[in-house]
Structure 1
Amino acid sequence: MLPSFHPSDTESGLRILEELTSDAGRIQREVLEEILTRNASTDYLQGFMCGRVDEELFKERVPVVDYDDIKPYIERIANGECSDIISAQPISELYTSSGTSGGQPKMMPSTEEELDRKTFFYNLLMPIMNKYVKGLEEGKAMYLLFIKPEISTPCGLPARPVLTSYYKSEHFRKRPHNSYNVYTSPDETILCEDSRQSMYCQLLCGLIQRDEVLRVGAIFASAFLRAIKFLEHNWRELCSNIRTGRLSDWIVDRNCRDAVLLILEKPDPVLASTIERECGNSSWEGIIRKLWPRTKYVEVIVTGSMAQYIPILEIYSGGLPLVSTMYASSECYFGINFKPLSDPSDVSYTLIPNMAYFEFLPVEKGDELTNHKVRCNGTRCRTPLNADNDPPEAKAVVDLVDVKVGNYYELVVTTFNGLYRYKVGDILMVTGFHNAAPQFRFVQRQNVVLSIDTDKTSEEDLLKAVTDAKCLLEPLGYILTEYTSYADASSIPGHYVLYWEIKAKDRPDRTDPADLPVAMEECCHRVEESLDYIYRRGRKKDRSIGALEIRVVEEGTFDALMDHCLSQGSSVNQYKTPRCIKSEGTLRVLESRVVGNYFSKKLPHWEPYNMPPSSSS
């Protein structure tokens, strides 16, 4: 099921991708047959299929479920019951999700074999990048990777983020050294459990080897920007280490320290002065190109909720391509971007058919009266949901090769590890096909919403509104660096609260201009104008929703928020700023740093919606 090839063999890798995508339907049937054959005797499948291995019976009897449905089985395994209640293969560990998209971390079952599948998936990335970017074998990647301390379940199974599992595995530590996985960071710095020591040492190694760096990045845009902010605060100390050839005393992790000292071989005052000159400028526009002049692209995920970081990444990168290579989660690795140099708003992922069995639930927005358009990868899509107006009977779960271009679906997976017809919670839009395999844009997470009354604002709706409003700050020389939201029901009527962290684009020490309050009030109004019909009706006609509020927080607040979430169990690699605050502790972090409050002083536009006249038959 997993073809073998060397990742540096571009021709073989591309050929395998062509074979997989050309015969996607057959491969999907074989994947399902293998999963059902392996796991027919598990308690879960026995309860629905009585030991039979049949695709039609599977679709007829096995229900489509979400995490709450499978959580009891996973908790039983965590507490010591045999894996065969859901998986014929022993569950070797549980992957913990970040918990920042939907509120609470989840645990997903995994087996030893899954590491083979992930390694195969990672190896497919290199042939694609070699096709579009030449000369990667001539240098290294400053790719910032982190692990998180793991915990043990009551029965002793490790519970840890999926990337922590991979970086600790033999698959990563004994990986073949080729152009795609030679890093400036020694493994010891990646495997350091103290994220601050790890960040410092990885940046130090990346600066020392700056002339060898051909690409920079992290998993998510948020993690990479955190590294840039860390560099802003620590470049003087880093330069002192380079100038003297001595590593700071507070780096106490022995393995990490020894590995860095092998790279920090001797004093280099010339390099230190070069870095000081670039970092000492009042503007950090283009700082990545200046510090790592041979860099060909920035590799970070900038689709979905990460799209809002694109403007500030473009400032720091100086026009370098922003490359999102893959689409994956704790449940399963899904798809690869076959056109990695495409604009972030145009990124589509081709689902790899031997990763899992994929099904799709058609999505419709029946509650919205307007011809509402969602946003894909941070930009407005041309086709509204339900554009095909299929009858209800056509809205059944569909297979991978049967999805329709332009339609929207919620992803459902059946994995080799014990998940059966599991709703991942991601909404995708079909943009086309590569051979027989469909390509998808990530649209939004399901059920991540703000709501006061009958209004339901999704994560993507909020991103659209914030994107429209933040443009009002640019003429004043300010940019929005981060945001989140909260549905405040403590007053009547309740209202939306947005927390914004802003900074001056050119002069970090700039004081607030006199016209900033006026601009912020207009931002509040612009957000409201950008929200949907139901919200605007609640504000203007029903008066069931109060005026939207923006609370500006001091610089560094979202770093503190990330630190808080990490202390609660999130991982640096997987962290995504929660777009809707549900935790009292998280809210306290934000509230303690508010420096200004602004409200919308105008009601948004709203008119009664008149249904179009029905045509006579």
Structure 2
Amino acid sequence: MGAAGVTDQQTQTYITALFALAEKDLQFIDGMLAPICYTFFRMIEDQGDALCDDLENGFLSENFKVDEEVREEVNRNLRVESHRANQVRRELRKGTDGLALRLWPNLKMVHIAITGAFEPSYRMLKSSYIKGVYVRRFIHVSTEAAIGAPQESIADSGEKPRGYVFAHSSAFFEFIPEDEMDSASPKTFFLDQLQVGQTYEVIITTQNGLYRYRFGDVIKVVGFIDENPIYEFKYRSGQLLNLKTEKTSENVFYDALRAAEMEWKGMSIMDYTATESTNVQLIPGGIWTYIIYA
């Protein structure tokens, strides 16, 4: 489809949403990351009128700015869907609660990554757009190797996500304890030496020639299935806030932000980013602090 050749994210999301809405028997959504999936549904909500008009007409509106090559390809593949456009309009008027199953009654599963920094977007999705939809978490993978597969899926928003199990055939795994990660010669452990409740940086040795490669993923062991550790992804080792050598990890920062969110009334975190105040000259008097954009 035309979206494959588009580099602008908003345009790509719009075209993807257009073809998704045209397919009334959609059964599977591969959203990759929870924020991407959330953006997809926000596009449907915010641009619902325009999307329905394009469905009804069978072509992209001239008001939608896109390269002519992309427009021609989209128009060539898009059908006139007047009845479907009216269906979508009716469901959008009912709000966002359970929207996915109302738009696509045969939807069986959404496949997305939901842990770590992706959790806020996942909570927003599960409490509204994809309520009641079976969610399977995306495999834990890096550029260099597959790290782990989901131990189980989440059928309901109230369930606590379970962890991953290691993909033994993908690489040889070693682990550095969290308190040794900055050491010049850290201790390392094998899979059978990991302990529940402990946090480790993952090291991989692969058949393609990477030897004891530290790619930065940090995990926490939460249990075992038989003798195989079950783990949760926590953060990337290089993603730290560090004003006075405190080295606050993404995971610790998010836990604190989440605790603060629990005390807010009528507000919730959709997404956020943070930086040290030394990167943004907003705080007078030389006070060092974290600046949060949410």
TM bin, normalised by shorter chain, reads 0.7 to 0.9
Aligned to 1:247: 60
Normalised by the length of structure 2, the TM-score is 0.83
Structure number with bigger Rg = 1
Specify whether residues 452 and 259 from structure 1 end up closer, same or farther in structure 2 by C-alpha distance, changes over 3 A only: closer
Contact 2:59 2:74 in 1 (8 A): no
Q: Does 1:349 align with 2:164?
A: yes
Where 1:426 maps in the other structure, the secondary structure is strand
Aligned to 1:358: 173
Aligned to 1:329: 142
Which residues in structure 2 correspond to 1:8-19 (within 5 Å)? Answer: none
Which residues in structure 2 correspond to 1:118-517 (within 5 Å)? Answer: 186=1, 189-210=3-24, 212-249=25-62, 250-252=65-67, 254=69, 257-258=72-73, 261-262=76-77, 264-266=78-80, 268-281=81-94, 283-314=95-126, 315-341=128-154, 345-364=160-179, 396-473=187-264, 475-476=265-266, 478-489=267-278, 490=281, 491-500=285-294
Question: What one-letter code is carried by the residue in structure 1 that aligns with 2:16?
Answer: Q
- Per-residue CA deviation, residues 195-230 of structure 1 (Å, 9 max, x unaligned), is 4443222211110112x1122241111111122222
Specify whether residues 322 and 469 from structure 1 end up closer, same or farther in structure 2 by C-alpha distance, changes over 3 A only: farther
Specify whether residues 457 and 365 from structure 1 end up closer, same or farther in structure 2 by C-alpha distance, changes over 3 A only: farther
Q: CA deviation at 1:413?
A: 0.9
Q: CA deviation at 1:243?
A: 1.2
Contact 1:412 1:423 in 2 (8 A): yes
More strand as a share of residues: 2
Contact 1:324 1:344 in 2 (8 A): no
Q: CA deviation at 1:436?
A: 4.5
Where 1:334 maps in the other structure, the secondary structure is strand
How far apart in 1 are the matches of 2:31 and 2:79? 26
More helix as a share of residues: 1
How far apart in 1 are the matches of 2:88 and 2:47? 12
Contact 2:220 2:232 in 1 (8 A): yes
Where 1:225 maps in the other structure, the secondary structure is helix
Aligned to 1:13: none
How far apart in 2 are the matches of 1:344 and 1:357? 32
Contact 2:120 2:269 in 1 (8 A): no
Contact 1:303 1:347 in 2 (8 A): no
- Per-residue CA deviation, residues 562-592 of structure 1 (Å, 9 max, x unaligned), is xxxxxxxxxxxxxxxxxxxxxxxxxxxxxxx
- Per-residue CA deviation, residues 371-418 of structure 1 (Å, 9 max, x unaligned), is xxxxxxxxxxxxxxxxxxxxxxxx731223432333321100122333
Q: CA deviation at 1:421?
A: 0.8
Where 2:121 maps in the other structure, the secondary structure is helix
| Identical amino acids, percent of aligned pairs | 25
Normalised by the length of structure 1, the TM-score is 0.42
Equivalenced residue count is 282
Larger RCO: Structure 1 or Structure 2 (Cα < 8 Å, ≥ 6 residues apart)?
Answer: 1
Q: CA deviation at 1:366?
A: 11
How far apart in 1 are the matches of 2:212 and 2:50? 51
- Per-residue CA deviation, residues 459-518 of structure 1 (Å, 9 max, x unaligned), is 111111111112333x43x33222111211354221222112xxxxxxxxxxxxxxxxxx
Question: What one-letter code is carried by the residue in structure 1 that aligns with 2:122?
Answer: I
How far apart in 2 are the matches of 1:246 and 1:497? 44
Contact 1:353 1:437 in 2 (8 A): no
- Per-residue CA deviation, residues 241-296 of structure 1 (Å, 9 max, x unaligned), is 1112223344546467436633x333x32221221222245x42322222222223
Specify whether residues 324 and 255 from structure 1 end up closer, same or farther in structure 2 by C-alpha distance, changes over 3 A only: same
Question: What one-letter code is carried by the residue in structure 2 that aligns with 1:337?
Answer: P
Q: CA deviation at 1:426?
A: 1.6
Specify whether residues 420 and 260 from structure 1 end up closer, same or farther in structure 2 by C-alpha distance, changes over 3 A only: farther
How far apart in 2 are the matches of 1:191 and 1:208? 20
Structure 2, unaligned stretches of length 5 or more? Answer: none
Question: What one-letter code is carried by the residue in structure 2 that aligns with 1:451?
Answer: N
Contact 2:98 2:131 in 1 (8 A): yes
How far apart in 2 are the matches of 1:464 and 1:217? 28
How far apart in 1 are the matches of 2:72 and 2:170? 38
Where 1:440 maps in the other structure, the secondary structure is strand
